[in-house]
């Protein structure tokens, strides 16, 4: 097996123009090596950068005038040592700060000072957390000055945010957050924190909460570029931007769009290649080629060298611009570095964020830079941001396919620094690459590589799968929200029953106007369920629309109820079976005798409102499905996760769940009394 892994390692090409980096979670270097050997070994194995954890929210490991200095670091300048040896061995040195989280190294007297000043976070129950509150301007100023101090004092190549977030959805709800939220928004919160957790001010608070984290990124980025424009600003972020902005207030896609970051490093720590690939694929769409994407590989979770090799290959194939390994330890060197050196890191190269010299004009496609097979894609490539010291240059423009194929498109040189052409490639994943040299001074030539955003050409089947809402819509049909849990399985089921069902991707007024009935599977992104959206859908139902909601969308946890007068969520038991009750038209053909299992592992029980009618109960005799007629419309609140399997994947509903779904939709369409 070892020989097979070694053979696989030797098959991996050494790619020009990529970041090959590591995170090191200590300011002292690897183990007892010191910084000289730490840098020497990393360079020997073909890496070109290191992210070193030199400061936290409450402690620094170098002489700092902003943060307390760790006892073990007193009398030494570890930052100066690290930068010196990394630069000597050709490595970029990026200073990694653990933001907000205080960890165990913060001196007790400093922690007590922060506590006394009310600068620490509190969870929804009022318990203190060892995290700086991001909304406190004193904390933001301290963290900003700590990073700017580093930029002013040391010749570092970059600063790197980490823990630039909240610890989870349960924070921060301190008194300071309440006061500042009310001041900034003009909203008076009567029931704190319930009104901002699942009450009427949920969406406003979520927006404000994200802004508190973003402010630090924005302010540091602007100041770093003013003080030293050559220093790169980056961040280690959660893999899934959609859930991260809600769970931890980390809106990193926005940071990319606004230009606060020079590159981004999602922490894609998994041993599952399929999950890793899906994360990188989505991240390349979210970044849209605006800045380099360097996925983090969780080598600490892996036991075989082939796992790291495979993820490096996947990252390249899916459009990443390099990789960062977590973390740099003796074990990582022994188990993984020699295999990488056999192929992937065999030849030296420099990271692409050094060469932001090329403009790529690629038109908007189906979504981002995705196109249908047969589409003509006009592109323009120009070397128009070269540094002033660049005397001469020559570069070849090629269309790279992720399997290694390359087609020459043209040549750029001083007398013709741009080209325009029309691409019409076969299905696959591509990038336009500009590879060449720039003359620096009279004799020195510097190699460079710049790459375009990822260009995806899709087959008709792939277009239908990835962009379901592009197809035709039946008049007065049943819209199914496919960005909800189980949504696609519900859509397929209704179509199989001959109902005029079509996919809905947004909850906009235009989408509602095309629906006679809307099936709202529990949204995967809870932030879409804000007051405006709920109000829009409520009016649409009252004017004659039909609405079916599933699981949490009945009004549970972070999703407020849309018709509490009919029903709202109350509990979440696991394993209980259910059955239909009563003589409502929805229940006419359902089994009212036998208990039925449900495909998902839990369901939401309901608290019935004054206008609600129970359609089904569970074995605890608690309501799980209810119906009502708000205004001129009809509404069904279903606590079952229709269309969702126990593994959180879409699964076609069967037997009584299928009957319940179809019967509910037919009633919402106006069939029955």
Tokens of 197: 């957790």
* Bridge partner residues of 297 (DSSP): 268, 325
**Secondary structure element (H or E) that encloses residue 488, with its range:** helix 487-496
pLDDT at 406: 87
**Mean pLDDT over the full length of the chain:** 95
- Phi, psi dihedrals of residue 390, rounded to the nearest 5°: -75, 110
Residues in the chain: 673
pLDDT digits (tens, 9 = 90+) for 385-397: 988 888 799 999 9
How many CA atoms are closer than 13 Å to the CA of 672, on its beta-carbon side?
A: 16
List of the chain residues with pLDDT < 70: 671-673
Question: Cα(459)–Cα(457) distance, rounded to whole angstroms?
Answer: 7
Q: Which helix (H) or strand (E) holds 595?
A: none
CA separation, residue 658 to residues 452, 516, 620 (Å): 46, 20, 22
pLDDT for 671 equals 65
Tens digits of per-residue pLDDT, 246-285?
999 999 999 999 999 999 999 999 999 999 999 999 999 9
| pLDDT for res 672 | 53
Task: Identify the structural domains of the chain with CATH numbers, from first to last.
Answer: 2-352 (3.20.20.80), 358-460 (2.60.40.730), 467-668 (3.40.50.880)
E strands present in 362-511: 370-372, 377-383, 390-401, 406-412, 418-423, 428-440, 444-451, 455-458, 477-481, 501-504
- Show the tokens assigned to 440: 């620096």
DSSP 169-233: TTB---HHHHHHHHHHH----SSTTHHHHTSTTHHHHHHHHHHHHHHHHHHHHHHHHHH-TTSEE
Phi, psi of 128 (to 5 degrees): -75, 145
Asked if 507 and 480 count as a contact pair (C-beta separation under 8 A), the reply is no
Q: How many helices (H) and strands (E) does the chain have?
A: 19, 29
3-state helix, strand, coil in the chain (%, to 5): 35, 25, 40
Element (H, E) at 137: helix 137-153
Per residue in 89-132, pLDDT (tens digit) is 999 999 999 999 998 899 999 999 999 999 999 999 999 999 99
Per-position DSSP letters for 87-121, written without gaps between them: HHTT-EEEEEEE-SB-TTTS-HHHHHHHHHTT-EE
Radius of gyration of the chain from its Cα atoms, rounded to whole angstroms:
28
């Amino acid at each position: 097996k070892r020989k097979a892994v070694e053979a696989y390692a030797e098959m991996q090409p050494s790619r020009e123009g990529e970041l090959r980096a590591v995170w090191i979670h200590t300011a002292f270097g690897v183990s007892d090596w010191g910084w000289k050997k730490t840098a020497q070994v990393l360079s020997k194995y073909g890496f070109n950068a290191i992210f070193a954890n030199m400061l936290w929210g409450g402690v620094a490991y170098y002489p700092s005038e902003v943060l307390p200095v760790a006892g073990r670091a007193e009398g030494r300048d570890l930052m100066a040592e690290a930068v010196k040896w990394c630069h000597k061995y050709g490595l970029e040195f990026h200073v990694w700060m653990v933001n907000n989280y205080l960890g165990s190294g913060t001196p007790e007297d400093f922690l007590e000072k922060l506590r006394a000043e009310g600068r620490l976070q509190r969870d929804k129950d009022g318990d203190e957390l060892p995290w700086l509150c991001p909304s406190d301007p004193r904390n933001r100023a301290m963290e900003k000055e700590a990073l700017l101090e580093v930029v002013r004092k040391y010749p570092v190549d970059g600063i790197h945010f980490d823990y630039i977030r909240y610890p989870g959805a349960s924070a921060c709800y301190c008194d300071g957050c309440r006061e500042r939220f009310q001041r900034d928004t003009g909203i008076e919160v009567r029931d704190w924190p319930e009104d901002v957790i699942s009450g009427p001010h949920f969406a406003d608070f979520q927006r404000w909460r994200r802004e508190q984290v973003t402010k630090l990124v924005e302010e540091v980025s602007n100041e770093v570029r003013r003080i030293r424009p050559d220093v790169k600003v980056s961040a280690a972020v959660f893999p899934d931007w959609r859930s991260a902005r809600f769970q931890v207030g980390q809106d990193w896609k926005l940071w990319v769009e606004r230009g606060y970051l020079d590159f981004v490093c999602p922490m894609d720590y998994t041993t599952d290649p399929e999950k890793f690939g899906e994360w990188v694929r989505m991240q390349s769409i979210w970044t849209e080629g605006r800045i380099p994407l360097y996925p983090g590989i969780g080598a600490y979770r892996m036991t075989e060298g082939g796992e790291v090799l495979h993820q490096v290959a996947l990252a390249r194939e899916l459009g990443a611009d390099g990789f960062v390994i977590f973390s740099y330890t003796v074990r990582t060197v022994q188990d993984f570095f020699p295999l990488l050196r056999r192929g992937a890191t065999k030849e030296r190269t420099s990271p692409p964020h050094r060469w932001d010299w090329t403009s790529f004009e690629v038109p908007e496609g189906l979504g981002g830079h995705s196109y249908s097979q047969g589409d003509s894609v006009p592109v323009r490539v120009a070397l128009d941001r070269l540094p002033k010291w660049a005397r001469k240059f020559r570069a070849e423009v090629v269309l790279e396919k992720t399997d290694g194929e390359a087609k020459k498109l043209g040549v750029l040189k001083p007398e013709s620094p741009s080209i325009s052409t029309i691409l019409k490639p076969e299905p696959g994943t591509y990038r336009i690459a500009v590879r060449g040299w720039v003359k620096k001074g009279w004799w020195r030539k510097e190699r460079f590589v710049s790459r375009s955003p990822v260009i995806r050409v899709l087959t008709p089947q792939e277009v239908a799968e990835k962009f379901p809402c592009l197809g035709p819509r039946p008049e007065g049909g049943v819209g199914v929200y496919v960005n909800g849990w189980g949504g696609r399985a519900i859509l397929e089921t209704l179509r199989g029953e001959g109902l005029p069902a079509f996919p809905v991707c947004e909850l906009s007024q235009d989408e509602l106007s095309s629906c006679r009935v809307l099936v709202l599977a529990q949204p995967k992104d809870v932030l879409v369920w804000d007051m405006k959206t709920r109000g829009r859908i409520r009016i649409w139902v009252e004017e004659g629309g039909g609405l079916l909601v599933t699981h949490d969308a009945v009004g549970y946890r972070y999703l407020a109820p849309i018709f509490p007068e009919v029903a709202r969520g109350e509990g979440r038991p696991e394993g209980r079976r259910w059955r239909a009750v009563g003589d409502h038209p929805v229940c006419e053909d359902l089994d009212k005798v036998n208990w039925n299992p449900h495909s998902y592992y839990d369901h939401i029980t309901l608290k019935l409102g004054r206008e609600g009618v129970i359609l089904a109960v569970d074995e605890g005799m608690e309501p799980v499905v209810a119906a009502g007629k708000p205004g001129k419309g009809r509404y069904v609140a279903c606590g079952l996760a229709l269309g969702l399997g126990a593994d959180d994947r879409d699964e076609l509903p069967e037997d009584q769940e299928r009957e319940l779904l179809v019967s509910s939709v037919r009633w919402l369409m106006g069939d029955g009394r």
